[in-house]
Structure 1
Amino acid sequence: MRPDRETGRSKAISTVPIYLSIYSPNVVNLTLIDLPGLTKVAVDGQPESTVQDIDNMVRSYIEKPNSIILAISPANQDLATSDAIKISREVDPKGERTFGVLTKIDLMDKGTDAVDILEGRAYKLQFPWIGVVNRSQQDINKNVDMIAARRREREYFAQTPEYKHFAHRMGSEHLGKVLSKHLETVIKSRIPGLQSLINKTIIELESELSRLGKPIATDAGGKLYMIMEICRVFDGIFKEHLDGVRPGGDKVYNVFDNQLPAALKRLQFDKHLAMENVRKLITEADGYQPHLIAPEQGYRRLIETALITIKGPAEAAVDAVHGILKELVHKSISETLELKQYPFSQSGGWECSC
């Protein structure tokens, strides 16, 4: 990481990653994230927050439950002071995704070795420690390629008496294979959960697509056809309600069969059409005159009086039927699937004028 990549020429640390892709038939399928080493003191030119910034950056990656932690520690330093082991133990106390990597084994003081660490006696991890021997700065300056460096690494572990009995599980190549295999195992264990999440998402999306309905036409002819088709479906559902195929239409018949006749019976028409009352109305309308046919004015008076009398129950019946029809319209709209993609039709954003 170049500290000045996003921060000018200061020595502050940027969280913006630098991506490097390597394609080769000779490398395993891995994504490696090279994090900056933890520091305890900000050097000259760095803000005081640098120490905490680096710690936060490292944690943001290794706290993810799907990440694999490479706790890299130099063999020529006391393992008890290893920041990598300390922070990995905090975020992965069971060691289920932590791999210990020991570097600079070839730089240890003569007479000392890393056998206790590599065999897990000094600090035991769930997965075996892996030792690596990297290129030195002098090798880099001399352009020693990675193929030669890996060959020298294999030779070092195979020819060093202390390490040759477990040389088969040492080195960068073995580390890459172990990580690739572990990643494969982790992916397999996550597949059922991913499948469940995918299936749930598919169901939610299909439900949303069903609610949204078919694509809306853009041309005038297509829109007109779509409107007519929706009206046809709505009309069929509304008719089914009226005909009794769907519930609700029986309320209309109840108004005319029960409510209106009961109201008319309470009007006492027998008294209104009593002989004396009829005689009185005809006499007042036409006087005492002989007629060859029924007097027109008298009949008109009788009919008008009767109509005025039944006006109240008739209007009440009309209002009741109107309310039922509005209710059926709302029901028909909610049952018309083609209208579900138009939320305004479901939220009362219109007024029935039937």
Structure 2
Amino acid sequence: MATVSLDPEAIEQLSGERKTLLDAIDGLRKHGIGRFVDLPQIIVVGDQSSGKSSVLEAISRVRFPVKDGVCTRFATELVLRTNPQTSIHVQVQPTSVSADVSYAFDKTSFDKDDLPRITEEAKARLLKDSTSFSEDVLRIEICSPDVPHLTLVDLPGFYHSEDEDQPADGRDIVDRLVETYMARKNSIILAIVSARNQVVMQKVLSKVKGHDKKLERTLGIITKPDLLTPGSPDEDKFIKLAKNQEQKHHFALGWHVLRNRSEAEVSLSSEERDSKEQEFFESGIWSAIPSSNRGIDMLRKKLANILLDHIRKNLDTLIQDIENNVKSRRKTLERLGTPRSSPPQLRAHLDKIASQFQLLSLRAIEGNYSDEFFGSLYPAASSNSTDDRVRKLRALVRDLNRTFAYVLATKGSRRIIIPDHSDGDSAFDKSYELQQTSLPSFLQGLEAQYPFKTPKEVTRDAIQAELEPLSSANQGTEFPGTTNDFLAVKLFQDQSRPWEAIARFHIDLLLRIVKSFTEKLLAYITGPDEKTYSAILVNIVDPFFEKRTLKLNRKLQELLCHFQTGYPQPADAEFRAALAKRRQKHLTAEILQNLVTSHPELFTDKGKRQLAGLASSGRKSEFGVDSLIDKSETYYELSLRNFTDNVIILAVENCLVKDLPTILTTSAVSQMKDDMLMKLAAESTDIQVERVELDTECEALQKGLDLCKTYRGRNSTVLPTIPPQLIDDPPATTPRVKVEDPTDGLKQELPLLSALQAPYLEL
């Protein structure tokens, strides 16, 4: 059996009288909880050669390497565990997952003077390729009936200057390594400050403030006080620091002073070391420091109490952390499903995925966002980003359809025909301006994704000038002075040419949106099972969207065909009404001109001049081109609405969105052949290993959770009470409601809280 040579008396001082809670924390480590949750431990930090290792040695009476210069090149965790069976395990723990984790020291015995030798052996393993520092960890676990439940960590010291042994990149490694340990909120920080150097020059204090902002979990340790010149200003400063009277470095846990071995006293035994320390503090100015704040014996007891209080204070948080870890792993296990290899097991697993997919995709297109997959009320990023909004599919589809209708209405015509003479207050100008600003600001980010330019404006006179010779060239058998309506249809087809590009872009965009949603939903359902996720995408999802792309292309061509090559078929009554409304503004000008001729007394001189100018500017058409333009624009207006609705309903909704839940169905799974089941649902070796690891971790976490709850005990449940003053004398802002007393039918106004507490009253 392995033997351990440690000082039981010194170790017992660390435990104190109340071992129960420390036993609980040791039980957590025994169950491996420390891999997932930060457990209470003591870390020793300080500048280079500040005496960190000497402090650890004095606390544990386990010999640490102590000499001037850089001696700690990596973290050394000394794990002391109470166990009926004595055992020692010395191991190098790589920080990289891909690193060699098989290396371990083969030790069957351990003596308190062996650690320096073991550390030198570890350097050969850790400091490869001429590296000066390592982020790997030397972990020494000692299990024995007579050791406490503590983890003591010796960390490399901060250094300020570089040389051959301590390069600049080594400083970065040291800072990153030490700060990783300091950032753990369950670590007690022993900040070592050497009296040999000025306080302001010691880096450790600024690092402590960066991670323990309230200075609640840091205990300051002053070392090497015997090196100060008696009566010097530096000695006075350190005396003030030891009394916790320095405002900048006032720690809630205070300060403690130790006199450690000098390099010449390495051969002294632990008892001799303690005796010299006691002799030093009983004489001279340091005797003015309270005995509770000096010497190693008092430090051991102090650490026991500090650690005990720290564990108590953080026990509820520790329990919450463990519960969160258990919940997270069980959720991952649930997504991985049960082990599967036979066809029935594969079918059952895939059937579960299909069931969830059908349910959540149906909720998405219905706009039911109750599942956590859809996220919270407030998005993590800008609501204009389609990728951020894709999970709430129905909402995004509706907004994109609305944006599509706006883009088609404002940019869907080849040219915009405007009146020749408008004063800015005309009905036309106002309606056009309203159309330009009808899209809400929160949708303008979506509109920016449609790469279409605003059409060029052209006057009605210019269009008439274009159509006059064309009307002559396209005369049929109509009477002179009348129009050939074929020309109005051609003008409409020319104006509506951009429809196809805008509609095609909109459909392609929604195809990408719906496919992205499908990928995110499947990733959510399959969890870490990337093999099944990828197989479903390749064999089911991708073929579905390839078919839908072809179907949507055909549907779009069908919807465009009538407007591009067909004969106009507007509803008679609707077309007449719209055309009459459009012609009314022209008739108004003609009526006014007739009135000024027959009844000039009704008009002012200014009005007559304006009407005369309007009459002279009007282009008289031999072929009735005005009528052609009105008919074309009227038909455009009615057709635009129909085409927009057809794209949204017949194409996007009927050919894509409504069929989303059919991508993967339980009925399809039930009919799958065994080879397809294997292709889709067979689990990889990585998943098998992950499931075993998760099961083991859940079991360990649950044991640790039970252990913590057993120690914490059970508190009585306390229900919240309504303060009487809120009922009897509510504040002015308390909501009030009218209620009716069924016994006498009288109504009265009461504070809302009072109304809710009156069961005989009906709201």
Tell me the equivalent position of 1:173: 297
In 2, the alpha carbon distance for the partners of 1:213 and 1:37 equals 48
* SS in structure 2 of the partner of residue 150 of structure 1: helix
The two structures have a TM-score, normalised by structure 2, of: 0.27
1:19 corresponds, among 117, 139, 142, to 139
Amino acid at match of 1:94: K
In 1, the alpha carbon distance for the partners of 2:250 and 2:129 equals 42
* SS in structure 2 of the partner of residue 69 of structure 1: strand
Pair 160,28 (structure 1): closer, same or farther in 2 beyond 3 Å: farther
Q: Is the 8 A contact 2:259 2:295 kept in 1?
A: yes
Q: Mapping of 1:252-271 within 5 angstroms? A: none
In 1, the alpha carbon distance for the partners of 2:261 and 2:320 equals 46
Q: Is the 8 A contact 1:62 1:91 kept in 2?
A: yes
After TM superposition, give the deviation of residue 69 of structure 1 in Å.
1.4
Q: In the alignment, does 2:412 pair up with 1:92?
A: no
Pair 193,94 (structure 1): closer, same or farther in 2 beyond 3 Å: closer
1:69 corresponds, among 189, 192, 200, to 189
Tell me the equivalent position of 2:228: 108
After TM superposition, give the deviation of residue 189 of structure 1 in Å.
2.4
Q: Is the 8 A contact 1:38 1:51 kept in 2?
A: yes
* SS in structure 1 of the partner of residue 185 of structure 2: coil
Tell me the equivalent position of 1:193: 317
Q: Is the 8 A contact 1:11 1:46 kept in 2?
A: no
Q: Mapping of 1:203-218 within 5 angstroms? A: none
Amino acid at match of 1:350: S
Pair 22,116 (structure 1): closer, same or farther in 2 beyond 3 Å: farther
| CA deviation map 1:93-131 (0-9, x unaligned) | 210111111000111112233321111123322221100
Pair 347,196 (structure 1): closer, same or farther in 2 beyond 3 Å: farther
Tell me the equivalent position of 1:43: 163
After TM superposition, give the deviation of residue 134 of structure 1 in Å.
0.5
Q: In the alignment, does 2:267 pair up with 1:138?
A: no
1:54 corresponds, among 166, 174, 189, to 174
Amino acid at match of 2:670: W
The range that moved more, 104-113 or 5-14, is 5-14
| CA deviation map 1:217-268 (0-9, x unaligned) | 99xxxx9xxx9xxxxxxxxxxxxxxxxxxxxxxxxxxxxxxxxxxxxxxxxx
| CA deviation map 1:171-213 (0-9, x unaligned) | 2232233223222222222322333454566677778889999
After TM superposition, give the deviation of residue 26 of structure 1 in Å.
7.2
Pair 145,209 (structure 1): closer, same or farther in 2 beyond 3 Å: same
Q: Sequence identity, in percent?
A: 26
In 2, the alpha carbon distance for the partners of 1:101 and 1:108 equals 16
Pair 25,109 (structure 1): closer, same or farther in 2 beyond 3 Å: farther
Q: Is the 8 A contact 1:132 1:172 kept in 2?
A: yes
Tell me the equivalent position of 1:300: none
- Which runs of no fewer than 5 residues in structure 2 stay unpaired? 1-71, 75-122, 349-663, 673-763
Tell me the equivalent position of 2:631: none
Pair 191,346 (structure 1): closer, same or farther in 2 beyond 3 Å: farther
After TM superposition, give the deviation of residue 64 of structure 1 in Å.
1.5
Amino acid at match of 2:130: S
Tell me the equivalent position of 1:30: 150
Which structure has the greater CA radius of gyration? 1
* SS in structure 1 of the partner of residue 152 of structure 2: coil
Pair 46,161 (structure 1): closer, same or farther in 2 beyond 3 Å: closer
Computed over aligned residues only, the root mean square deviation of the Cα atoms, in angstroms, reads 3.6
Tell me the equivalent position of 2:558: none
Pair 217,175 (structure 1): closer, same or farther in 2 beyond 3 Å: same
Q: Is the 8 A contact 1:29 1:180 kept in 2?
A: no
Q: Is the 8 A contact 2:291 2:298 kept in 1?
A: no
After TM superposition, give the deviation of residue 33 of structure 1 in Å.
1.3
In 1, the alpha carbon distance for the partners of 2:182 and 2:189 equals 6
* SS in structure 1 of the partner of residue 219 of structure 2: strand
Amino acid at match of 2:187: S
* SS in structure 1 of the partner of residue 190 of structure 2: strand
Amino acid at match of 1:74: S
Q: Is the 8 A contact 1:104 1:134 kept in 2?
A: yes
Amino acid at match of 2:207: I
- Which runs of no fewer than 5 residues in structure 1 stay unpaired? 228-343
Tell me the equivalent position of 1:306: none
After TM superposition, give the deviation of residue 72 of structure 1 in Å.
0.6
Q: In the alignment, does 2:671 pair up with 1:351?
A: yes
Q: In the alignment, does 2:275 pair up with 1:151?
A: yes
Pair 348,193 (structure 1): closer, same or farther in 2 beyond 3 Å: farther
Tell me the equivalent position of 1:333: none
The range that moved more, 61-70 or 152-161, is 152-161
* SS in structure 2 of the partner of residue 8 of structure 1: coil
| CA deviation map 1:28-62 (0-9, x unaligned) | 53212111111122211554312222111111111
* SS in structure 1 of the partner of residue 193 of structure 2: strand
Amino acid at match of 1:100: G
Q: Mapping of 1:237-248 within 5 angstroms? A: none
Tell me the equivalent position of 1:183: 307
In 1, the alpha carbon distance for the partners of 2:222 and 2:133 equals 26
In 2, the alpha carbon distance for the partners of 1:26 and 1:136 equals 29
Q: Is the 8 A contact 1:76 1:108 kept in 2?
A: yes
In 2, the alpha carbon distance for the partners of 1:71 and 1:191 equals 24
In 1, the alpha carbon distance for the partners of 2:129 and 2:325 equals 46
Q: Is the 8 A contact 2:281 2:287 kept in 1?
A: yes
Amino acid at match of 1:176: R
The range that moved more, 26-35 or 99-108, is 26-35
Q: Is the 8 A contact 1:28 1:176 kept in 2?
A: no
Pair 175,346 (structure 1): closer, same or farther in 2 beyond 3 Å: farther
The range that moved more, 187-196 or 91-100, is 187-196
Larger RCO (CA within 8 A; separation ≥ 6): 2
| CA deviation map 1:57-86 (0-9, x unaligned) | 111111121112111111132111111111
After TM superposition, give the deviation of residue 7 of structure 1 in Å.
2.6
In 1, the alpha carbon distance for the partners of 2:189 and 2:277 equals 23
* SS in structure 2 of the partner of residue 100 of structure 1: strand
In 2, the alpha carbon distance for the partners of 1:206 and 1:49 equals 41
In 2, the alpha carbon distance for the partners of 1:11 and 1:214 equals 46
Pair 9,94 (structure 1): closer, same or farther in 2 beyond 3 Å: same
Pair 162,194 (structure 1): closer, same or farther in 2 beyond 3 Å: closer
Tell me the equivalent position of 1:126: 252
| CA deviation map 1:150-176 (0-9, x unaligned) | 222123213334425512321223223
* SS in structure 2 of the partner of residue 173 of structure 1: helix
Q: In the alignment, does 2:198 pair up with 1:78?
A: yes
After TM superposition, give the deviation of residue 147 of structure 1 in Å.
2.1
In 2, the alpha carbon distance for the partners of 1:159 and 1:346 equals 85
In 2, the alpha carbon distance for the partners of 1:179 and 1:148 equals 22
Pair 152,348 (structure 1): closer, same or farther in 2 beyond 3 Å: farther
* SS in structure 1 of the partner of residue 168 of structure 2: coil
After TM superposition, give the deviation of residue 2 of structure 1 in Å.
4.8
